Structure 1
Amino acid sequence: MARQSAQNVGEAFAHAMATWEAGNIAEARRLARRIVDSAPEFGGAHYLLGVIALGQDQARKAAEHLSRAVAADPAQPVPRLALARALEAQNSLHAAILQYRAVLAAAPMHVEAGARLAELLGRTGKIDEAVDLCRRTIAASPHHAEALFTLGTLLHRQGNDAEAARHLEQALALRPDWVAALHNYALVLRSLGQAERAVAILGGALDLCRDHAGSRANLAGALRDLGRLDEARIQAERATRLNPRDPAGWLELGLIRDRLGIPEGAAAAFERAVTAAPQSAEAHWCLAEARRALGQPARAATLYRRCLELDPDDRHGAALGLAQVTAAPPPERAPGAYVRQLFDDYAGTFDAALVDKLGYRAPAVLAEALGRVLGGRTGLAVLDAGCGTGLAAAVLRPLAARLDGIDLSPAMVDKARQRHLYDRLDVGELVQALAGRAGGYDLVAAADVLVYFGELAPVMAAAHSALRDGGLFAFTVERADDCASYVLGAKNRYAHAVEHIRDRAAAAGFDVAVMEPAVTRREAGADVPGLVVVLRKI
């Protein structure tokens, strides 16, 4: 065919686009191909062929045409946006990210590109950048459902579930039948300790899409949260039948079987999860725990090591697991990522579980010991170190002219903030935070915090630095009677010998004002031996 003039090509392209918009896909494709035959460098025809291919799930062919459309006119954001979508469909996430960035470089307020880029940044681990981009996108377009959904999902991953819930609710107000948003909203509700609501939401999601395996697995988890284990097992089994390659269903089935007292069945389900997701640290950790429970320490050790390879930050505490099966010495402290994840996950149900089920009374024990040492003195600068949800705030506030709190878990700090008892709250690592606040406090209190530290020398030195002369460091620990230093218990909590505390306190520059037996919690119906300690800086 002879090459057409620019005017004729433009008219032909306009006709092809109108045909596509009218829904006549086959004819639009034919017309676009005619343009490509006569004017192969005309980007518009390649764009149309690309979006047609993308709509028919032919991502590779779409990317080829859309790449030529972008090359023909690099300044145009529309072909780049479509190319990024095609690259996403091929799971070429980093290439897609580059294209979305290019769209935003040319059009900074392009909300669709911003929302998609934020979602991909989150999937590739760049959570903070993704959250910031989502916030800017929503500021530009407050009713952009995808940006609201993505922000809610990312905030859940950060442990900020209260705000996550608000954004997902806004996304669902715009798109009430969005199964993925219902699924993620239910995950947030579970983290907030609202399993009954999660069950109701997931029922709605499954009414819309009965074959959504992820929602079945999520429903199984919510029912497990409520102790409805037989119902949970049925839903988990359905999830595994719907999508045997999705590890979520197998993981839930394993957790449910474990709760039902079927350890071999739990291990078998976790094996399937590992097969479905060989790069999943969570699946390896669950299987390692199951093998440990079955008395198979060598197999468990291999799995814990693989978990550490997959997740060097150790969010699951695999290093502690290796110590539990005597395949490695106990680390000097629990991994920070493990503690943060543990309490982010625990935040929604923490108070009820600790106070109602475990008889937690560390704040009361500390208050009684401090009352004897302080002799009625108040007006202090106080730091609640490892404040959690703020359970100790009620007994520390009457002592304080200023009450600060710090915790490693953002979700816990968010809960503490809701008490309105603190003058300042921060998320941070305890030793670093103490070392960075030299001479700032009259009292540093740590209720049930040092159980995640084995070697106490670093935290003793940091607390000494943070205190004014004569200041107090008050804390509770679990007691170890048969060792000279510390031991790692079955619950991944450290217990300390009296001798270890005395030695490290003296080395740091403290006198012992109080060190006596105390019970701060119960496990399996029995008191856990502990100590309450008040040290004075000299």
Structure 2
Amino acid sequence: MARQFSLSVSDAFAQAMRTWESGNATEARRLARLIADANPGFGGAHYLLGAIALSQGQARKASEHLSRAVAADPNQSVPRLALGRALEAQNSLNAAIVQYRAVLITEPDHAEAHARLAALLARTGKASQALDHGRHAIAVNPNHAEALCALGALLHQQGEDREARGYLERALALRPDWGVALHNYGLVLRRLGEAERAAALLSGAVDLRRDHAATRANLAGALREMGRLDEARIQAEQAAKLAPRDAVGWMELGLIRNAQGMPEGAAAAFERAVTAEPDSVDAHWCLAEARRLLGETAKATAHYRRCLELDPDDTHGAALGLALTGGAPVPQRAPDAYVRQLFDDYAETFDSALVNRLGYRAPALLAEALERDLVRKTGLAVLDAGCGTGLAAPVLRPLAGRLDGIDLSPAMVDKARARGLYDDLAVGELGAALTTRPATYDLIVAADVLVYFGDLEPVLHAGFAALRPGGIFAFTVERAEDCSSYLLGAKNRYAHAEDYVAAKAQVAGFALARMDHAVTRREAEAEVPGLVVILRRP
């Protein structure tokens, strides 16, 4: 009798499942309730009731039924996965993680559980674990679209956009009309400097997720980068309207208003961003900059100080802003974290922006000066100090028997390595690196690097020590007028007086071989006065 009753329950459950799969959720729910009422310990009925509730957006009710299904048979992965989804829908992320981990205890290679863990661990700030689970999911199932998308998003967050691109392309090949993947791919393309393609993808994502504020805000960002400011503002306004308590739309709206020459409107938008996210360093920094440009130094000072409280390493350069408002003395140099982040973010578009938009000529000017002072020497030990993406390498390589490069930005060093012109490349702070390389080089070149140093004495001493007798330290700086030493400009770059450069070179032990006036770049369509300096170690 027991076996006959069990088969009857199984048949009834199979009928209920077929009914649900055919699209008749109402009848399927009725059948599942009948089974559950007659057999309270049968987990299948509660699983079906939970799955139906979850599909209808009733996450709490789904959790109740799915918890009973899991209790009835803890080793079944399907109810646990569904319960995890229901808990995610209620934003109970840690509880969902527990369910997915439980699946892996019995099925260590369950691709779906690994994929869900990758997504949730990323959201809870555990990026390393998330990457491991994402890679495991794809190793088990190379065509798991959610795992591919999650891994692409994770790699983007880690700054590994070229690798992220491949995974997201694979995800979209499997699901071409997937709004989440289109959005993530658009973010990757923005970071890679492909604003036009990014805007096209993000537009598609907006069509699929019209009420998703972050997608509209990111579309606004791509349009802003293309100069399509009116279109960008419409999208940013929609993002802010959709999610007025979210900073992302207000931040983008502030940036667009700033680009449109609306400083008061920009400041108002950044105020809303700070209100929405009081601990956002980005929001406080943008608001501080906006207030400074409006001449509201007291308000700007308060927000710069808040940036430093939230981010003591100072990746935004708030200490420089604070000095510009008179809220603190001018630092002797720009913060390392600020310079590193600035150029990490700038790496993908650095060459085109610097050469095409800013008319950057520092390497060429240094090459001309060196040709005169080196008398066409070759086979030298050369250091490209602050090498960036390696723009100076083509003019230095013919002089070098050995060409080394060093830069504070890992992303810049990766770009320089791709040129294939250096014998060695290292990530590090210039002054510290020079002190570890005594009497190593015949030539040290720093093109547009010492603009991030105010006090030149420490770096000149370090450069002197790293040179062999007769070696040359060649560099460019911006030229300060009506100043006896150095000053900090509005773009967070230092400018130096000629007499100051000459005096500090002499203190370091150098002989001044040449100091020429030059224009190394433009800023806001205006030429920036500079100096090309050649120092020789006696």
TM-score bracket, normalised by the shorter chain, equals 0.7 to 0.9
Distance 2:35 2:437 in 1: 68
**Could you tell me whether the CA contact under 8 Å between 2:33 and 2:49 is conserved in 1?**
no
Task: Specify whether residues 446 and 122 from structure 1 end up closer, same or farther in structure 2 by C-alpha distance, changes over 3 A only.
Answer: farther
Q: Which moved more, 1:290-299 or 1:240-249?
A: 240-249
Q: Which moved more, 1:392-401 or 1:503-512?
A: 503-512
Letter in 1 for 2:318: A
Task: Specify whether residues 115 and 426 from structure 1 end up closer, same or farther in structure 2 by C-alpha distance, changes over 3 A only.
Answer: farther
The CA deviation at 1:481 is 4.2
Matched residue, 1:282? 282
**Could you tell me whether the CA contact under 8 Å between 1:17 and 1:48 is conserved in 2?**
no
Task: Specify whether residues 371 and 184 from structure 1 end up closer, same or farther in structure 2 by C-alpha distance, changes over 3 A only.
Answer: same
Matched residue, 1:19? 16
The CA deviation at 1:461 is 5.2
Matched residue, 1:251? 251
Q: Which moved more, 1:164-173 or 1:136-145?
A: 136-145
Distance 1:90 1:537 in 2: 68
Does residue 217 in structure 1 map to residue 214 in structure 2?
no
Matched residue, 1:230? 230
TM-score, with normalisation over the residues of structure 2?
0.84
Three-state SS of the structure 2 residue aligned to 1:287 is helix
Matched residue, 1:495? 495
Distance 2:487 2:48 in 1: 67
Q: CA RMSD in A?
A: 3.7
Letter in 2 for 1:340: R
Q: Which stretches in structure 1 are left out of the alignment for 5+ residues?
A: none
Matched residue, 1:147? 147
The CA deviation at 1:257 is 1.7
**Could you tell me whether the CA contact under 8 Å between 1:32 and 1:48 is conserved in 2?**
no
Three-state SS of the structure 2 residue aligned to 1:445 is strand
**Could you tell me whether the CA contact under 8 Å between 2:32 and 2:46 is conserved in 1?**
no
Distance 2:494 2:336 in 1: 14
The CA deviation at 1:266 is 1.7
**Could you tell me whether the CA contact under 8 Å between 1:190 and 1:222 is conserved in 2?**
yes
The CA deviation at 1:474 is 2.7
Distance 1:63 1:505 in 2: 72
Matched residue, 1:180? 180
The CA deviation at 1:433 is 4.5
**Could you tell me whether the CA contact under 8 Å between 2:29 and 2:48 is conserved in 1?**
no
Larger Rg: 2
Matched residue, 1:319? 319
**Could you tell me whether the CA contact under 8 Å between 1:35 and 1:45 is conserved in 2?**
no
Q: Which stretches in structure 2 are left out of the alignment for 5+ residues?
A: none
**Could you tell me whether the CA contact under 8 Å between 1:16 and 1:31 is conserved in 2?**
no
CA displacement, residues 36-71 of structure 1 (integer Å, 9 cap, x when unaligned): 84x4xx877766665555444444555566667667
Task: Specify whether residues 108 and 536 from structure 1 end up closer, same or farther in structure 2 by C-alpha distance, changes over 3 A only.
Answer: farther
Letter in 2 for 1:257: R
Matched residue, 2:333? 333
Letter in 2 for 1:329: P
Distance 2:107 2:461 in 1: 52
Identity among equivalent positions (%) equals: 68
Distance 2:337 2:124 in 1: 18
**Could you tell me whether the CA contact under 8 Å between 1:451 and 1:494 is conserved in 2?**
yes
**Could you tell me whether the CA contact under 8 Å between 2:320 and 2:331 is conserved in 1?**
yes
Distance 2:325 2:69 in 1: 59
Does residue 30 in structure 1 map to residue 52 in structure 2?
no
Three-state SS of the structure 2 residue aligned to 1:331 is coil
Task: Specify whether residues 76 and 440 from structure 1 end up closer, same or farther in structure 2 by C-alpha distance, changes over 3 A only.
Answer: farther
Does residue 299 in structure 1 map to residue 302 in structure 2?
no
Matched residue, 1:476? 476
Letter in 2 for 1:269: A
CA displacement, residues 401-423 of structure 1 (integer Å, 9 cap, x when unaligned): 33333333344344434433334
Distance 1:382 1:20 in 2: 73
**Could you tell me whether the CA contact under 8 Å between 1:191 and 1:346 is conserved in 2?**
no
Distance 2:190 2:166 in 1: 14
The CA deviation at 1:493 is 0.9
TM-score, with normalisation over the residues of structure 1?
0.84
Matched residue, 2:402? 402
